[in-house]
Structure 1
Amino acid sequence: MAVERTLTILKPDCVRKKLIGTVTAQIQEAGFEIKAMKLTRLTEDTAGGFYAVHKERPFFGELVEFMSSGACVPMILEKENAIADFRELIGATNPEEAAEGTIRAKFADSIGENIIHGSDSVENGRLEAAYFFPESDVVANEA
C-alpha cells in the first residue's frame, strides 16, 4: 500500500478552544506523520478560494466567514491509506452523526463548527496541500 498525503486544517473553533495540542496528539497517535504545519489566519479571499468547490452551495458564505474568523492550523499529513484512515479518525461532518471516539464526536459543536477539515481524495489532498504549502516547505522523510 502506498503512502498518501492529505491536508487537514484545525479550524478556528479548534484554535479558540485551545485544542491544537490535543487534536494534534490524537492525529500522531493514529500513525500520521506531520510533514508541514503552520498557524495562520485566512482572509475571506483565501478561505473562499480554498472552498471554491462549494461556491454554489447555500452554506458557502457562512463557511468563508467562519474560516476567516480566527486563526487556523493547516497541516500536511502522510501515512499509508491516509485519506480513508483520516476520514475515519475525524468522523462525520455532523458531530451528532460522528462515531464515538472520533475527533468531531469529542470536540465539535455543530455541522458548521466541526473542528477539523480533511481531504476527501488523494487528488484533493495534493491540491489542498499545495494551496497552503510550497513543496519546499514539506519535510522529506528522513533515512
Structure 2
Amino acid sequence: MIDRMFGKITLSIIKPDAVQKEYVIPILCKIIHAGFHIAALKMTELSKKSAKKFYAEHKNKLFFESLIRFMSSGPIVSVILEKENAVKDFRILIGETNPVYAKKGTIRNLYASSLEKNAIHGSDNNQNALKECLFYFSNREIFLKENFC
C-alpha cells in the first residue's frame, strides 16, 4: 500500500529534546500549516538496539554512539507526512541540520538548540522515506489522504 506513495510521503521524527521541551504541538501545527497531511503518528521510545538499526548508515561515523544515546534518551514522536514532493518540501520546512545555518522561520531555527539536539528528523530522499516509514509503522497504522472520501 505505502509503496504506491513514492514521492508523496516522508518520515518525521520529533526528537527527545523537542518532546521534553513540549514543542510537539507547535511543530505539528507548523507542519500542518505547510500543507502536509498526517498519515500516521505515534509517541514511542526508541531502544538503543532500534536506534542502532535505524541509524545504521552512520555506524562508522564519530557521532554514532552519541546519536544513539540521544535518540534513546526519551520519548520521540514519529510521523508519516503526505504531500506532493513531500521529502523536498519537508527538508525546506525543517531547515539545515545544523540550526546555526537554518533559515529564519524553519523548524530547526525555531526549536533546535544544537547540531545533535536539532529537534527533528526528516527523510533525506524518497527511497529512505519509504524504508523509514515502514521502520516505525505497519501498513495498518497508515491513513493516507487518498483513501479518504
Alignment of 1:120-135 (within 5 A): 120-135=124-139
Partner of 1:25: 29
Q: Equivalent of 1:86, from 77, 87, 90?
A: 90
Partner of 1:35: 39
Moved over 4 A (4+): none
Matched, 1:50 2:54: yes
Segments of structure 2 that go 5 or more residues without pairing to the other structure are: 1-5
Q: Equivalent of 1:113, from 112, 117, 121?
A: 117
> Letter of the aligned partner of 2:14 in structure 1?
L
Partner of 1:63: 67
> Letter of the aligned partner of 1:119 in structure 2?
S
1:66 Cα deviation from its structure 2 partner: 0.1
Counterparts of 1:21 and 1:122, CA distance in 2 = 26
Paired positions, count: 142
Counterparts of 2:142 and 2:53, CA distance in 1 = 21
Partner of 2:81: 77
Counterparts of 2:111 and 2:37, CA distance in 1 = 22
Q: Taking every aligned residue pair, what percent have the same amino acid on both sides? A: 45
Partner of 2:105: 101
Counterparts of 2:84 and 2:8, CA distance in 1 = 6
Question: TM-score when scaled to structure 1?
Answer: 0.97
What do residues 19-76 of structure 1 show as CA deviations (whole Å, max 9, x unaligned)? 1100000000000000000000000001111000100111000000000000000000
> Letter of the aligned partner of 1:127 in structure 2?
K
The secondary structure found in structure 1 opposite 2:38 is strand
> Letter of the aligned partner of 2:40 in structure 1?
A
Question: TM-score when scaled to structure 2?
Answer: 0.93
1:136 Cα deviation from its structure 2 partner: 1.0
1:96 Cα deviation from its structure 2 partner: 0.3
1:3 Cα deviation from its structure 2 partner: 5.6
Q: Equivalent of 1:12, from 12, 16, 19?
A: 16
